[in-house]
Chains A and B, each alone.
Chain A
Amino acid sequence: DGGITQSPKYLFRKEGQNVTLSCEQNLNHDAMYWYRQDPGQGLRLIYYSQIVNDFQKGDIAEGYSVSREKKESFPLTVTSAQKNPTAFYLCATKRDGAYEQYFGPGTRLTVT
């Protein structure tokens, strides 16, 4: 888990602004994931990428965008089209052929 960094830990934005959340890993894992967690709820998948330059939508991709230009990095942009962006965002990685996902420390985004 120490090989996954998310920055910043807390992020505050005004409504209508786009914001990009960072996720970097040095585990050499192929797959990377973005989840959203709301209070009292489980994790919901936003986007995932199994290989560089390729990514797929998860269950709640509307209002979000991602890129995967490098194996180490999978940034998530929360656009102004996302109606309720305030949440805890978790990035995860997985080694190709393995089962276990490893989570980053998360970024708590507050939009007012």
Chain B
Amino acid sequence: GENVEQHPSTLSVQEGDSAVIKCTYSDSASNYFPWYKQELGKRPQLIIDIRSNVGEKKDQRIAVTLNKTAKHFSLHITETQPEDSAVYFCADADDMRFGAGTRLTVKP
């Protein structure tokens, strides 16, 4: 089946630094790529998404880039804060497949 690969699995940064998480997908027909933030024991919450008709989308400190040719997309968090600490998941929503997650820790 089609897979979504996500890297890194863990990421530790200092408060104020940037964090980048990358995902690759297999299905060239896919068009919608959401990113979710999940805190311990809670439901995933959509934080940003991108559709294949754009290459980049930004929402305050969060941005997502998409390279359809290379079939990869990335989450960028700038000026990280301790409350950004969580597990982040990417997804190929058309295929209903998720990456394995990245545990982000932001150290004060």
Q: Given A43-B89, A103-B44 in contact, is the A48-B100 Cβ separation under 8 Å?
A: no
A106 to B40, CA, bound (A): 12
Q: Is B20's CB within 8 Å of the partner chain A?
A: no
Stretch at the interface among B55-63, B67-75, B77-85, B91-99: B91-99
Number of chain B residues whose Cβ lies closer than 8 Å to a Cβ of chain A:
23
15 additional contacts (CB under 8 A) given A40-B100, A103-B44: A1-B43, A1-B45, A41-B100, A42-B99, A42-B100, A42-B101, A43-B44, A43-B91, A48-B96, A59-B97, A90-B44, A99-B32, A99-B93, A104-B43, A108-B41
Is the interface on chain A under 10, 10 to 19, 20 to 34, or 35 or more residues?
20 to 34
Q: Number of A-B pairs whose CB atoms are under 8 Å? A: 50
Report A32-64 residues with CB < 8 Å from chain B CB: 33, 35, 40-45, 48, 58-59
CB < 8 Å neighbour of A43 from B32, B45, B49, B98: B98
Task: Specify the main secondary structure of chain A where it touches its partner.
Answer: loop
What are some 22 contacts across the A-B interface (CB < 8 A)? A1-B43, A1-B45, A40-B9, A40-B100, A40-B101, A42-B6, A42-B89, A42-B99, A43-B89, A45-B97, A48-B96, A59-B97, A90-B43, A90-B44, A99-B49, A100-B49, A101-B34, A101-B93, A103-B43, A103-B45, A105-B42, A108-B41
Q: Is B108's CB within 8 Å of the partner chain A?
A: no
Closest 7 CB pairs of A and B: A42-B98, A103-B43, A43-B98, A42-B100, A99-B32, A45-B96, A42-B101
Are the C-beta atoms of B42 and A99 separated by less than 8 Å? Answer: no
Q: Which residues of A contact B97 (CB under 8 A)?
A: 45, 59
